[in-house]
């Protein structure tokens, strides 16, 4: 699946370190050998590490000690239980469990909001080791394609910023809205997505969803773009996503997530970000990295936004393998 590049780069940046390395950036070029050691990553990816607490240093030590981590997806599996969790009189959430019922619990949060889960999402995790569920106690986090719901991020993608890179795809998104409503595309699409006319809802949903599908990969992905033409998927995806953006993620302030990162800084985490992510530009991941230096930060140099990008897929699998190795070695953090 992966693009083959003769060498890759790891950048280890620390002001000081416990291992006696010289401070400052270090660049290590390693050949690609299919299965890569804990020191290496998918060709075209870059890791940026900063100060970490003791538990995060366990992850870094695993990298330094040359641990072998799988990078390809696991096989298809089916859930052994599923259902809907009633969270209010109006709303319910789908949940499922798969893998090993007695294994270590792992949390998977899908993108969007509104993208939903699929059978592919189970394949990032070893089904013999992990109990793969929607929600449980969090002991480690793997984050991908960082979006912090700030106004500048929403404006970038929905108010013309990303159009500078995808002007052809933007025209259909723009032209669906009359000139007099183009001062706020999120609001304008929200009116149509919540129209009493189902045909207007479906038309708006297809265009909204197709815009994101067309911009999610570094190279065009025809199969992904066809999802925008699926009435059922696009209507759910677009209405949920637009609802969150119209309500600013239901957050009290624009920088609420960054301002409150202290609440999760104790959790071992790995951040995976495509360098050429147009949907969620790297500045957001960079801002999170600066606010949360304990988390390992991996930049995939030949990827856009989607988790299905080969380099991102490989890093997500490897990240889960790293956590698995720590659980297996230590029993707990």
Quote the pLDDT of residue 326.
76
Phi, psi of 268 (to 5 degrees): -60, 135
The answer to whether 34 touches 70, Cβ cutoff 8 Å, is no
The secondary structure of residue 63, as a DSSP letter, is H
Mean pLDDT, the chain, rounded, equals 79
Query: Which positions ≥6 away from 269 have C-beta within 8 Å?
Result: 56, 140, 141, 142, 143, 292, 294, 295, 296
pLDDT of 100-113, one tens digit each? 999 888 777 666 56
Compute the average pLDDT of residues 125-131: 89
Q: Among 11, 61, 2, which residue's Cα sits nearest to residue 36?
A: 2
Quote the pLDDT of residue 15.
31
> Is the pLDDT assigned to residue 25 strictly greater than 90?
no
pLDDT higher at 291 or 117: 291
Rounded to the nearest 10 degrees, what angle do helices 185-193 and 231-246 cross at? 130
The secondary structure of residue 189, as a DSSP letter, is H
Report d(CA 224, CA 306) in Å as an integer. Answer: 10
pLDDT of 229-283, one tens digit each? 999 999 999 999 999 999 999 999 999 999 999 999 988 899 999 999 999 999 9
Quote the pLDDT of residue 58.
58
Quote the pLDDT of residue 124.
82
Compute the average pLDDT of residues 198-219: 97
**How sure is the predictor about 131, in pLDDT bands with cuts at 50, 70 and 90?**
confident
The answer to whether 38 touches 68, Cβ cutoff 8 Å, is yes
Find where tokens 């270090």 sit.
26
Q: Among 238, 274, 331, which residue's Cα sits nearest to residue 144?
A: 274
Strands 92-99 and 130-133 turn out to be antiparallel
> Is the pLDDT assigned to residue 94 strictly greater than 70?
yes
H/E stretch holding 83: strand 81-86
Quote the pLDDT of residue 252.
97
pLDDT of 165-204, one tens digit each? 999 999 999 999 999 999 999 999 999 999 999 999 999 9
């Amino acid at each position: 699946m992966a693009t083959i590049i003769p060498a890759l780069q790891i950048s280890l940046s620390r002001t000081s370190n416990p291992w006696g390395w010289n401070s400052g950036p270090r660049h290590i070029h390693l050949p690609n050998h299919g299965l890569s050691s804990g020191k290496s990553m998918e060709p075209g990816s870059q890791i940026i590490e900063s100060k970490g607490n003791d538990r995060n240093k366990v992850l870094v030590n695993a990298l330094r000690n040359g641990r072998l981590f799988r990078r390809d997806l696991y096989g298809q599996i089916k859930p052994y239980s599923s259902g809907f969790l009633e969270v209010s009189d109006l709303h319910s959430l789908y949940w499922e469990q798969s893998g090993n019922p007695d294994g270590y619990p792992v949390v998977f949060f899908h993108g969007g909001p509104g993208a939903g889960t699929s059978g592919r999402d189970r394949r990032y995790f070893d089904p013999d080791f992990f109990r793969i569920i929607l929600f449980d106690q969090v002991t480690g986090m793997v984050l991908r394609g960082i979006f912090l719901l700030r106004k500048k991020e929403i404006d970038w993608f929905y108010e013309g910023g990303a159009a500078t890179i995808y002007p052809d795809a933007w025209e259909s998104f723009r032209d669906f809205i009359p000139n007099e409503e183009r001062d706020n595309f999120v609001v304008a699409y929200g009116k149509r997505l919540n129209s009493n006319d189902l045909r207007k809802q479906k038309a708006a949903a297809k265009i909204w969803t197709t815009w994101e599908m067309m911009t999610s990969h570094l190279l065009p992905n025809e199969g992904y773009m066809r999802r925008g033409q699926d009435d059922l998927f696009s209507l759910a995806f677009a209405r949920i996503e637009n609802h969150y953006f119209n309500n600013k993620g239901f957050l009290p302030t624009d920088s609420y997530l960054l301002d409150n990162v202290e609440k999760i800084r104790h959790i071992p985490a790995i951040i995976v970000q495509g360098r050429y992510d147009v949907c969620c530009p790297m500045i957001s991941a960079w801002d999170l990295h600066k606010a949360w230096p304990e988390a390992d930060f991996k930049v995939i140099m030949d990827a856009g936004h989607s988790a299905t990008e080969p380099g991102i897929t490989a890093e997500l699998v490897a990240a889960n393998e790293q956590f698995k190795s720590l659980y297996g070695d230590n029993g707990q953090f």
